[in-house]
Structure 1
Amino acid sequence: MKTTPDPENAGKPVDDAHLVETRLASTEILKGHFLHAMRDTVGLPDGSQATREYIIHPGAVMIVAQGDDGRLVLERQYRYPVRAVMVEFPAGKLDPGEDSLACAQRELLEETGYTAREWARAGVLHPVISYSTEFIDIWFARGLVPGPRKLDAGEFLDVFTATPAELLAWCANGRVTDAKTLTGALWLQNVLSGAWALDWQAAV
């Protein structure tokens, strides 16, 4: 029996068997430098079959970095698939075998030049559950120390700071539409209000 917490029943386990799909066959569509596309035949709960196409993703991190003055570290980066410059929290994908915190520290330094004295893992988000295995670990960072950036070849982005109120206003008016940044803003709002707690640890 496959079970998950039931949000409508105080988190008690519920039997998911009537929802689960079973992989019957799998075909590789594309094996690229970054993404791995698959097409699977699955058995549905009613006994029929369907096709599922999805992307295998190595996973990533996002960093909600806040300075001693309360301002947030943000980026402006052109995202080719949507043909637009997006406002985002710093983020990046995990290298093979890389620890999540090590990745967050590396990405923050490479993209923004900042290091942080303290870190806290807030949680995880799945940005595109309908067609990707991607997950993004959400990290908070504070005690920021500025330094030189170490951008990858071919990486172009602007780094700037904004207040939490400014970021939330941009989320409300549609300037920020990036899913991970919207989720980070939700987490930030609840942390700042005291509704959600973080377990901070010193950087190693």
Structure 2
Amino acid sequence: MNSSDDAHLTETLLDSRTLCDGSFLKARCDTVRLPDGRQARREYIVHPGAVVIIGLLDDGRVLLERQFRYPVGRVMTEFPAGKLDPGEDPLACARRELLEETGYTAGQWAYAGGMHLAIAYSTEIIHIFFARQLVAGAAQLDPDEFLEVCSATPQELALACRSGEVTDAKTLTCTLWLQNVLAGHWALDWQGQDEPARP
């Protein structure tokens, strides 16, 4: 599926301007040269990147959370996740987010890969981590953060994805990863707490 020469598909930046410079997201409008020489505009969101954690509980269930997501106006069921701080290592972010949102720490971590969430209009990349040997503790939520920690069997999660109960894109993608890892089709390189399970 890869090509060694994608010049016939590549767009070249000519000019860039900022549309919005928020504390979290930034919006840009770029003028590009198309492969055929014409020009076009590309509006997109600049995102700092994020992590998502597939937490494997000792009883075979996976760690999930439910929280109200304002842009879509509903409570969503999803894997724990969070954005990278400036210069933050993705594994450090995964450890921090797991603890802050759920109270859990993990004895072992494995990096699964990255996913681009909305390639047509965002730079966002989400780094996927698996975590196991989980130990429960107290969550450390931000003052404006309200969520409910829950769990499900992989089969229950897959059914929720199939029925439309779970529609979060990162959780759908992670469910695919989970199914393939549990079936033995996709291998993970598990690392201890102090080892670099990095992208």
Which of the five TM-score ranges fits, normalised by the shorter chain? over 0.9
Deviation digits for residues 94-132 of structure 1 (CA, Å, limit 9, x no counterpart):
001111111000000000000000000000000100000
Q: Equivalents in 1 of 2:22, 2:58: separation in Å?
A: 41
Deviation digits for residues 115-172 of structure 1 (CA, Å, limit 9, x no counterpart):
0000000000001000000000000000000000000110011100110000000011
* Residue 101 (1) aligns with residue 88 (2): no
* Residue 156 (1) aligns with residue 146 (2): yes
* Residue 23 (1) aligns with residue 45 (2): no
Q: Residue in 2 aligned with 1:138? A: 128
Task: After TM superposition, give the deviation of residue 14 of structure 1 in Å.
Answer: 3.0
- Give the alignment partner of residue 14 of structure 1, picking from 4, 17, 25: 4
- Give the alignment partner of residue 53 of structure 2, picking from 49, 59, 63: 63
Q: 1:107 aligns to what SS in structure 2?
A: helix
Q: 1:24 aligns to what SS in structure 2?
A: strand
- Give the alignment partner of residue 191 of structure 2, picking from 183, 197, 201: 201
Q: Residue in 1 aligned with 2:42? A: 52
Task: After TM superposition, give the deviation of residue 15 of structure 1 in Å.
Answer: 1.3
**Structure 1 unaligned regions, length at least 5:** 1-6
* Residue 125 (1) aligns with residue 115 (2): yes
Task: Could you list the structure 1 runs, at least 4 aligned residues long, displaced by more than 2 angstroms after superposition.
Answer: none
Q: 1:137 aligns to what SS in structure 2?
A: strand
Q: Equivalents in 1 of 2:192, 2:69: separation in Å?
A: 33
Q: Equivalents in 1 of 2:93, 2:163: separation in Å?
A: 31
Q: Residue in 2 aligned with 1:183? A: 173
CA RMSD in angstroms comes to: 0.7
Aligned residues: 194
Q: TM-score, structure 2 length as denominator?
A: 0.96
Q: Equivalents in 1 of 2:147, 2:23: separation in Å?
A: 22
Deviation digits for residues 169-203 of structure 1 (CA, Å, limit 9, x no counterpart):
00111011100000000000000000000000001
**Structure 2 unaligned regions, length at least 5:** 195-199
Q: Equivalents in 2 of 1:81, 1:50: separation in Å?
A: 29
Q: Which amino acid aligns with 2:191?
A: Q
Q: TM-score, structure 1 length as denominator?
A: 0.94
* Residue 90 (1) aligns with residue 46 (2): no
Q: Residue in 2 aligned with 1:3? A: none
* Residue 41 (1) aligns with residue 31 (2): yes
